[in-house]
């Protein structure tokens, strides 16, 4: 791929971190010397779409990348809260992270917002996208199906250790699964 | 039931306060010397799910408990706004209320969040749960069916006095019944 | 219509501004000497229901009223952010605008909130309401149907100039069309 | 004093509750049948001017009024967070409390804001105002002087029980006594 | 001055609007075809530094520019709330206003923030800066000195009409002149 | 030092990062296997006390620790915004970071808040505290005195590269050095 760019931004919520994310990060690191892994919606947790806290997600990501033998000098993990004002979302991210030269994302709105501010945006070839999806994993956990094969071993262990399985199932019994009004 | 705990927390939105709530409070007061009645989502009003202000709800609760002859030295009513960050919801409640030893709730997420912080949580045996539900009452008001029998007499009077019937019906005609964007 | 009131408030989101709005403003100006055009949900943009920023909407409205030959001394355009607390929405608007004597709106909740604070509220006879709707226009843009005939010429030009067509279509491809979590 | 008004609002921060407050409440209850004791700046604590949480302040007030033998059916204690927008401060309070007919305060801004919204406002004849001041009490605690004589006995006990003396002294050693930046 | 730029931004708080502002606006309009007059700190009022609401300030500005015979097609007045995050302040303003090509300000931080985002910034030659200052005017109002000569006649009339003199004086008697904690 | 704890939290604002911080981090890493370096007040920048964005501060810290030859697998840098509610500050930090067993701080309020939640808190023996202070460094930059000797070489380079010297000096010329009202 010729010469590498200095730093890239990889945007995700990682609810939870899975093998698709891992593949994407490896792919991105072929293009940049250093990768910022941005943990979005950082203040949310304990809801059906956002079961895990930012801290738990940071812990999963660190464990998974260590397990994969990746050089910790090549990436940094930064939690970013939602700002709810799209017109200032990109400038807010920029203020919370070291300078970056390229953004890796497949999400249409994220892509649009960075492009409107003249950032270079690249799609990431996710492997087996349908399965390696956090939505699919949460659904399998809920339904008692095999989900462990979709995440790194260390993530599966972390999920068990923090009682994540139980949490996802209890949240599904809530009158208020999104937790609106807490 | 043996010895009573000092203080309990009863969590609700009370949109509106009904006979099921009253039964639950009486039941809780068999277990604790004093009960904090927490009025949740306190800043919301004038929407389909939250028609009444916190102030109106406090007024209903005071009137209903007075009507039921309950000792005002045994309970206190505290409105609590939403914080929208589940990880800090319980600590925020704790900062706004006198210390409590037990939480009364049937809601799965509420229960989960308090248990994760080592609080004792008890389910409340609601009487005739299906009918004595605020959702059911709002639906009956909307459809012109009998709802008065599901609430204490003083609550029915308060609802009429504050033009609550008219408010619920007008909100239902809104393009925007949740009021998002106000 | 006899004597005119001094100042009126016309409430809208203008996503985008269309010929129905223009007709409504002309109608309102028959009743008041000066009209405040309030651009609601001002902080939102880049979502399916709120594609345009407040600044873009102000620009569209100014261009359209100029095109229509209206006297710029007769109206002023004020963007107002959402406060999300209905009980303080009207007082917040009042604090952000010059004093007004009448409110023009067809929306039930808006009407209710102003009436509860003793404001005079008038319905506006929108022309051909079904077509002249911002929802309809956004749908036509998305589906490649004719929408230009529903908006003033200068609005159509502004939409093209700011790449608004492309923006609406890209937002529709988002996993997250409301942009929740940005 | 002739006929009593139905309900009054007494505004304070109660950092901590002292004998001046108690006198004021007794005085107010000669004019109204029921008194709302509003605990302002409810979300703040652990700073030099706001050492105690709203919950701790509610607990102090309940204990002091019980100690004074006051009828718990005659008052209710409502914590209210700051809204930081003066133009909506009074409407926010009104939305969080049962309806009231009169406001008791000696503070000029509070008085002004209620009067601009047509509320009746009365000054309260505080007894020995200079000493019975929360600022004075916090200063005495800091300097190891006698403060116990300025508060009800139950408040002094609560302060000791929650390690309030130690808290006030440690906060004074902070680089950052207002806690800005936490 | 050669060819005019299309649109400029003039940043101020206008507490209150005075003859220095008027001179600055006239001066700016020699350089641009249209001027956005941004009313900053729009949500604040009823404090010593920010006595007037955004609505009152918009009303003063409209009246003063009308009195000065300025063409209402040449300017628009936009209230902007504080965002408290400097890194997103300029992008937020940009999202709330039509596109502009130049910023007029003498304030060092405002200048810096716009320059860091590659905006052209020009200083404004204020006439008799020392006297024509909002701080000076508020001080004179407080001390009963002549202030009327420093503001347009219509502003003086508006201030009297809204009881602004009385408000400034009462706020100065507050224990809490900045209103922190309301 | 016997057995190490698993993870520690080091709290700072790093405006800018200096040799005292570096010494403290080295010291802390003798006690824990992994250290979370929390960048507090993350949303603030461009003010006299908080000149640098969180992103710039993260970049300085990464560069300085790399320069010092420290193992990037031993630390992680997490920006945390202020929550302004002391009672929920510690729970918020806990939700944004991996689990930690000990907190390193010399600040009295920080220490108090963690101790009230039963965390182990240790003081850090800062070397030459008076000089190695961010306040002292900002003052020297402002006054044109030698500051480079107080920070790691890579921090000095970063400060120059981002025009940090010029920024600190311009902010000092602001009417509004804290930037309140932006």
Query: Which residues in chain D are closer than 8 Å to B79, comparing Cβ atoms?
Result: 78-79, 96
Structural domain count, chain F? 1
Provide the pLDDT confidence category of residue F182 given band limits of 50, 70 and 90: low
Contacts of residue F84, Cβ cutoff 8 Å, sequence gap at least 6: D43, D182
Task: Say whether pLDDT at C80 is over 80.
Answer: yes
pLDDT of residue D95: 98
Query: Which residues in chain F are closer than 8 Å to E105, comparing Cβ atoms?
Result: none
Is residue B107 a part of any domain in this protein? yes
Identify the closest residue of chain C to A82 by CA–CA distance. Answer: C182
C-alpha C56: how far from its chain's center?
A: 12
Provide the pLDDT confidence category of residue C29 given band limits of 50, 70 and 90: very high
Asked if residues E7 and E119 have their Cβ atoms less than 8 Å apart, the reply is: no
> Which pair of tokens denotes residue B110?
């509420």
Contacts of residue D34, Cβ cutoff 8 Å, sequence gap at least 6: D6, D7, D8, D74, D75, D76
> Which pair of tokens denotes residue D182?
């936490």
pLDDT of residue D33: 97
Task: Say whether pLDDT at C146 is over 70.
Answer: yes
DSSP at A149: G
Task: Say whether pLDDT at C96 is over 90.
Answer: yes
C2 CA: distance to closest CA in chain B (Å):
31
Contacts of residue A19, Cβ cutoff 8 Å, sequence gap at least 6: A127, A132, A150, A151, A152
Q: State whether B54 and D98 contact (CB < 8 Å).
A: no
Question: What residue has token string 């919520």?
Answer: A13
Range of the domain at B53: 5-172
pLDDT of residue D85: 95
Q: Whose CA is closest to C104, among C30, C16, C17, C2? A: C30
Q: How many B×D Cβ pairs under 8 Å? A: 67
Asked if residues A40 and A61 have their Cβ atoms less than 8 Å apart, the reply is: no
Q: How large is the average pLDDT for residues D63-75? A: 97
Query: Which residues in chain F are closer than 8 Å to B92, comparing Cβ atoms?
Result: 85, 87-88
pTM: 0.95
Is residue C36 a part of any domain in this protein? yes
Give the whole-angstrom CA distance, residue C28 versus residue C105: 10
Identify the closest residue of chain F to B85 by CA–CA distance. Answer: F92
Q: How large is the average pLDDT for residues C121-149? A: 88
Task: Say whether pLDDT at F138 is over 70.
Answer: yes
pLDDT of residue A125: 80
> Which pair of tokens denotes residue D40?
């302002």
Q: Which chains touch E (3 or more CB pairs under 8 A)?
A: A, C, D, F
Least confident of D96-100, E2-6, F70-74, F177-181: F177-181
Angle CA F53–E42–C89, to nearest 5: 110
- Strands F75-79 and F102-104, by their bridges, are unpaired
pLDDT of residue E124: 85
Q: How large is the average pLDDT for residues C87-101? A: 98
Q: State whether F108 and D46 contact (CB < 8 Å).
A: no
Query: Which residues in chain B are closer than 8 Å to D97, comparing Cβ atoms?
Result: 54-55, 58
Contacts of residue B92, Cβ cutoff 8 Å, sequence gap at least 6: B80, B83, F85, F87, F88
Which candidate from C54, C55, C98 shows the least CB-CB separation from E59?
A: C98
Task: Say whether pLDDT at D1 is over 80.
Answer: no
pLDDT of residue F124: 85
Paired strand residues for F5 = F32
Region of E46 on the Ramachandran plot (φ > 0 left; ψ -120 to 50 alpha; else beta)? left
Please enumerate residues of A whose Cβ is less than 8 A from a Cβ of C.
13, 40-41, 44, 82-87, 89, 107-113
pLDDT of residue C180: 62
Q: Whose CA is closest to F46, among E113, D166, B35, B129? A: E113
Q: Whose CA is closest to B173, among B146, B142, B139? A: B142
Q: What is the pLDDT of residues A2-52, one digit of tens each?
A: 689 999 999 999 999 999 999 999 999 999 999 999 999 999 999 999 999
Region of B97 on the Ramachandran plot (φ > 0 left; ψ -120 to 50 alpha; else beta)? beta
- DSSP labels for E46-79? SSSS--S-HHHHHHHHHHHHHHTT--TTSEEEEE
Task: Say whether pLDDT at A136 is over 90.
Answer: yes
C42 CA: distance to closest CA in chain A (Å):
10
Provide the pLDDT confidence category of residue D181 given band limits of 50, 70 and 90: low
Q: Which chains touch F (3 or more CB pairs under 8 A)?
A: A, B, D, E
CATH number at residue E14: 3.40.50.620
Q: State whether A182 and B112 contact (CB < 8 Å).
A: no
Q: What is the pLDDT of residues A69-123, one digit of tens each?
A: 999 999 999 999 999 999 999 999 999 999 999 999 989 999 999 999 999 999 9
Contacts of residue B145, Cβ cutoff 8 Å, sequence gap at least 6: none
Provide the pLDDT confidence category of residue B35 given band limits of 50, 70 and 90: very high
Is residue B182 a part of any domain in this protein? no
Give the whole-angstrom CA distance, residue E132 versus residue E130: 6
Q: What is the pLDDT of residues D25-54, one digit of tens each?
A: 999 999 999 999 999 999 999 999 999 999
Query: Which residues in chain F are closer than 8 Å to E13, comparing Cβ atoms?
Result: 181
Asked if residues B83 and B113 have their Cβ atoms less than 8 Å apart, the reply is: no
Q: How many B×F Cβ pairs under 8 Å? A: 23
Cis amide linkage into residue C29, ω under 30° from 0: no
Query: Which residues in chain D are closer than 8 Å to F108, comparing Cβ atoms?
Result: 170-171, 173-175
> Which pair of tokens denotes residue D116?
């601009």
Task: Say whether pLDDT at F177 is over 90.
Answer: no
Q: State whether F176 and E41 contact (CB < 8 Å).
A: no
Q: Residue B121: phi, psi to the nearest 5?
A: -120, 135
> What's the sign of the alpha-carbon dihedral A16, A21, A25, A28?
negative
Is residue F32 a part of any domain in this protein? yes
Q: Most E CBs within 10 Å: which of A87, A93, A94, as the mutation test of the E interface?
A: A87
Is residue F177 a part of any domain in this protein? no
Query: Which residues in chain C are closer than 8 Å to D91, comparing Cβ atoms?
Result: 87-88, 91
Burial class (CB in 10 A: 0-12, 13-18, 19+), B168: buried
Asked if residues D16 and D159 have their Cβ atoms less than 8 Å apart, the reply is: yes
Is residue D137 a part of any domain in this protein? yes
> Which pair of tokens denotes residue C93?
């608007």
Query: How would you write the pLDDT of chain E (182 residues) with one tens digit per residue?
Result: 568 999 999 999 999 999 999 999 999 999 999 999 999 999 999 999 999 999 999 999 999 999 999 999 999 999 999 999 999 999 999 999 999 999 999 999 999 999 999 999 999 886 556 678 999 999 999 999 999 999 999 999 999 999 999 999 999 988 776 666 66
Is residue C108 a part of any domain in this protein? yes
Q: State whether F179 and E41 contact (CB < 8 Å).
A: no
- Strands D102-104 and D75-79, by their bridges, are unpaired
Query: Which residues in chain A are closer than 8 Å to E87, comparing Cβ atoms?
Result: 91-92, 94-95
Q: State whether C86 and B167 contact (CB < 8 Å).
A: no
pLDDT of residue E180: 61
E103 CA: distance to closest CA in chain A (Å):
20
pLDDT of residue A182: 67
pLDDT of residue B127: 56
Provide the pLDDT confidence category of residue C128 given band limits of 50, 70 and 90: low
Q: State whether F170 and E13 contact (CB < 8 Å).
A: no
Q: Do chains C and D touch (3 or more CB pairs under 8 A)?
A: yes
Instruction: Tell me the C-alpha to C-alpha distance, in Å, between residue F34 and each of D28, F12, F30.
Output: 59, 17, 10
Max CA pair span of chain D:
54
Cis amide linkage into residue B16, ω under 30° from 0: yes
> Which pair of tokens denotes residue E14?
């206008």
Q: Residue D26: phi, psi to the nearest 5?
A: -60, -45
Is residue F91 a part of any domain in this protein? yes
Q: State whether D181 and F82 contact (CB < 8 Å).
A: yes
């Amino acid at each position: 791929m010729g010469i590498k760019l200095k730093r890239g931004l990889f945007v995700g919520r990682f609810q939870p971190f899975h093998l698709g994310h891992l593949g994407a990060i490896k792919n991105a690191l072929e293009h940049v010397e250093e990768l910022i892994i941005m943990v979005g919606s950082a203040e949310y947790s304990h809801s059906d779409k956002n079961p895990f806290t930012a801290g738990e997600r940071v812990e999963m990501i660190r464990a998974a990348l260590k397990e994969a033998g990746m050089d910790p000098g090549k990436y940094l993990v930064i939690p970013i809260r939602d700002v709810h004002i799209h017109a200032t979302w990109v400038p807010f991210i920029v203020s919370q992270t070291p300078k970056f030269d390229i953004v890796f994302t497949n999400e249409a709105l994220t892509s649009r917002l960075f492009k409107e501010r003249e950032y270079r945006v690249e799609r990431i070839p996710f492997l087996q996208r349908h399965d390696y999806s956090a939505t699919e994993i949460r659904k399998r956990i809920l339904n008692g199906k095999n989900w462990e094969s979709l995440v790194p071993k260390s993530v599966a262990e972390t999920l068990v250790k923090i009682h994540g399985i139980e949490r996802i199932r209890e949240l599904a019994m809530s009158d208020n699964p999104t937790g609106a009004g807490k």
